[in-house]
Amino acid sequence: MERIAFIGAGSMAEAIIKGWIDKNCIANEHLFITNKSDQDRLETLQQAYGVQILPNKSMLHDMDCIVLAMKPKDAKEAMIAIAPFLNKKTVVFSVLAGISIATIRSFLGNRPIARTMPNTSATIGMSASGVAFNELVDEQLRTTCLTMLQAIGTVVEVEEDQLHAVTAFSGSGPAYIYYLLEAFENVAAEVGLQQDVVRTLMVQTLAGSAAMLQTGNEEPATLRRKVTSPGGTTEAGLRALEQHEVTAAIAACVKSAEARSRELAQGI
Ligand SMILES: NC(=O)c1ccc[n+]([C@@H]2O[C@H](COP(=O)([O-])OP(=O)(O)OC[C@H]3O[C@@H](n4cnc5c(N)ncnc54)[C@H](OP(=O)(O)O)[C@@H]3O)[C@@H](O)[C@H]2O)c1
């Protein structure tokens, strides 16, 4: 894709722009940005990344792709405003939570559409993203979109309906992990450690465990068993997790988030 315009230049747009430029996916002068009203923000991004501020909407006609990156509540107004300026081939790449491909098509016409669900770690190039494509995305375009999402982290392709589950796992997932860390820190004093010490230990434990899993050499259960000696400390800790039904709590957490994603989508 030669020229790409971001409709909405907030934090997700910046994360993607940074990832694409860092990974040489596209030259910065071929990236265009636009906002509803926040001109200062556009100038800040222009200075930071060398991207161009879209001078007027008629230039959208020259874009190969537009990225929908406003808040979902602003999407309808934004799509109505840009629809007359798109050319027939312009690809739509959406990061809007909860807005379906059918809704995008109803405002912007029948065209190739990639609907993606990144997460907040995109800001440091470590997103876990899901993506779904409509039937007009051909193999070459699909590969291009996947490559672009890999520039901000890891990506899995799913059916559009599965994006609700992706949202429940990796979209909301960072908050679950932060919540866990808060829980570890909260108990620090009771076992005689300071919170900052626990943070150092557990952040590295999370990173180390994630890195072990990323090697893909061993299953989580195998790795868990290796740490768990019979009658030892880990076994005692895991038994307490079982007694407090943590597995059931995690299942309830994911199912609630998935159901809420479906509910929110209905309301849009
Ligand atoms: N942040 C995340 O971690 C994350 C994760 C997954 C998905 N997402 C999705 O990413 C999207 C953007 O989120 P964000 O956090 O980047 O939001 P944000 O920081 O609030 O940025 C939204 C931008 O959209 C612009 N905008 C609003 N209405 C517009 C319009 N009619 N035309 C053009 N631009 C318009 C705003 O500009 P003005 O200030 O001028 O109005 C603002 O710069 C959301 O749909 C969200 O669901 C975000």
C-alpha 66/C-alpha 63 separation (Å) is 7
Asked whether the predicted pLDDT for residue 268 surpasses 70, the reply is: no
Only one residue has tokens 């090697």, namely: 215
Q: How do residues 247-259 score in pLDDT, each as one tens digit? A: 999 999 999 999 9
C-alpha 173/C-alpha 159 separation (Å) is 20
Q: What is the pTM of this model?
A: 0.92
51 secondary structure, DSSP code: P
Q: Where in the chain is the domain with CATH 1.10.3730.10?
A: 171-267
Atom of ligand 1 nearest to the CA of 75: 31
> In the CATH scheme, what architecture does the domain 4-158 have?
3-Layer(aba) Sandwich (3.40)
C-alpha 112/C-alpha 91 separation (Å) is 5
* Residues whose CB is less than 8 angstroms from the CB of residue 203 and which lie 6 or more positions away in sequence, other chains included: 181
- Tell me what pLDDT residue 157 has: 98
Asked whether the predicted pLDDT for residue 56 surpasses 70, the reply is: yes
- Tell me what pLDDT residue 200 has: 98
C-alpha 45/C-alpha 21 separation (Å) is 12
* Residues whose CB is less than 8 angstroms from the CB of residue 50 and which lie 6 or more positions away in sequence, other chains included: 21, 28, 29
CA of 72 to the centre of ligand 1 (A): 8
- pLDDT, averaged across the chain: 96
- Tell me what pLDDT residue 265 has: 85
Residue 72: CB within 6 Å of ligand 1? yes
Only one residue has tokens 């020229």, namely: 3
Return the residue whose CA atom lies nearest to atom 29 of ligand 1: 36
pLDDT band at 246 (very low <50, low <70, confident <90, very high): very high
167 with 141: CB under 8 angstroms? no
- Tell me what pLDDT residue 62 has: 95
Q: Where in the chain is the domain with CATH 3.40.50.720?
A: 4-158
Return the residue whose CA atom lies nearest to atom 25 of ligand 1: 8
Superfamily of domain 171-267: ProC C-terminal domain-like (1.10.3730.10)
Q: In Å, how far are 20, 151, 206 from 122, measured between CA atoms?
A: 11, 9, 18
Asked whether the predicted pLDDT for residue 206 surpasses 70, the reply is: yes
